[in-house]
């Protein structure tokens, strides 16, 4: 029951942009054991965790999709704050005087800005995202989620399918959700370990590039109107991830 409860908690948290699943695993004391057991395909003990995680994603996604649909700008402001604050843990300990890193940051920003597209709205996405796109971005997001400090949901925004995912959750479109679920599992089992090694070997380069990508992709959740409420929700979202991101992370 403990693993089930932790799974639900993780699932709810990772729905929010800027929230790193890997950091949550670290805080809950699960990260090292899970990574070690995944490499050995020792999966049976984690079935309750997986069930809870799926349940948590549904709970968090349904709640967020409803709130986003009813209060678009307020929700967007909160999510924008979460996303931008996630840059802090990504760049934590990566100080540099190398102008090349700043160049990577700026290049990442431009690419992220162009890839993210126009500000998202929770409407029927129609054919906006192909099944292949859902599969590839879903796999990358899940694999990235495992790495402490990197937000998998940020990859969904960068890939332009974050609003699609919320729409599918809010409307119980099980085929699309199943496709993303399968790709997510493959991403975790096939890509996570490779991405983690790549990140550890080239941490500074990836940190600066990914930070730029996140900052650029933030255009996708810009509020349409700026009110006092929007500013307050932005500050709340920013503060939440700023504090959360300062928790135990793997150096």
Burial classification of residue 29, based on how many CB atoms lie within 10 Å of its CB (0-12 exposed, 13-18 middle, 19 or more buried): exposed
* The pLDDT value given to residue 117: 65
Give the burial class of 40: count Cβ atoms within 10 A of its Cβ; 0-12 exposed, 13-18 middle, 19 or more buried: exposed
pLDDT at 165: 85
Contact 30, 77 (CB under 8 A): no
User: pLDDT value at position 92?
Assistant: 77
The pLDDT of residue 124 = 54
> In this predicted model, which residue has the larger pLDDT, 109 or 64?
109
Handedness of CA 121, 112, 154, 144 (dihedral sign): positive
* pLDDT one-digit tens code per residue, 85-94: 888 877 877 7
Mean pLDDT throughout 26-33?
Answer: 71
Structural contact between residues 233 and 81, judged by C-beta atoms closer than 8 angstroms? yes
Confidence of residue 249 (pLDDT cuts 50, 70, 90): very low
What does the pLDDT read at residue 27?
66
Give residue 63's pLDDT: 87
Average pLDDT along the chain = 80
Instruction: Identify which has the larger pLDDT, 196 or 64.
Output: 64
| Most confident listed range (71-75, 128-132, 152-156) | 71-75
Q: Is the pLDDT score of 228 beyond 90?
A: yes
Residue 37, pLDDT above cutoff 70: yes
Mean pLDDT across 204-208:
86
Which pTM value belongs to this model?
0.70
DSSP 221: G
- Confidence class for position 18, pLDDT limits 50, 70, 90: low
């Amino acid at each position: 029951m403990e693993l089930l409860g932790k799974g639900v908690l993780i699932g709810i948290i990772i729905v929010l942009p800027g929230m790193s699943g890997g950091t949550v695993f670290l805080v809950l004391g699960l990260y090292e054991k899970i990574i070690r057991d995944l490499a050995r395909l020792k999966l049976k003990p984690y079935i309750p965790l997986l069930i809870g995680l799926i349940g948590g994603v549904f709970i968090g996604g349904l709640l967020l999709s409803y709130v986003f649909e009813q209060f678009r700008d307020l929700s967007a402001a909160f999510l924008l704050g979460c996303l931008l604050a996630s840059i802090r843990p990504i760049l934590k300990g990566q100080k540099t005087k190398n102008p090349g890193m700043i160049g990577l940051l700026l290049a990442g920003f431009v690419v992220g800005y162009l890839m993210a597209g126009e500000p998202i709205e929770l409407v029927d996405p129609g054919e906006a995202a192909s099944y292949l796109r859902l599969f590839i971005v879903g796999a990358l997001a899940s694999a990235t989620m495992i790495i402490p400090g990197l937000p998998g949901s940020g990859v969904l925004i960068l890939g332009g399918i974050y609003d699609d995912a919320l729409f599918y959750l809010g409307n119980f479109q099980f085929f699309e959700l199943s496709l993303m679920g399968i790709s997510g599992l493959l991403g975790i089992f096939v890509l996570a370990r490779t991405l983690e090694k790549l990140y550890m070997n080239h941490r500074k380069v990836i940190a600066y590039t990914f930070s730029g990508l996140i900052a650029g992709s933030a255009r996708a959740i810009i509020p349409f109107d700026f009110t006092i409420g929007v500013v307050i929700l932005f500050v709340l979202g920013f503060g939440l991830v700023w504090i959360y991101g300062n928790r135990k992370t793997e150096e």
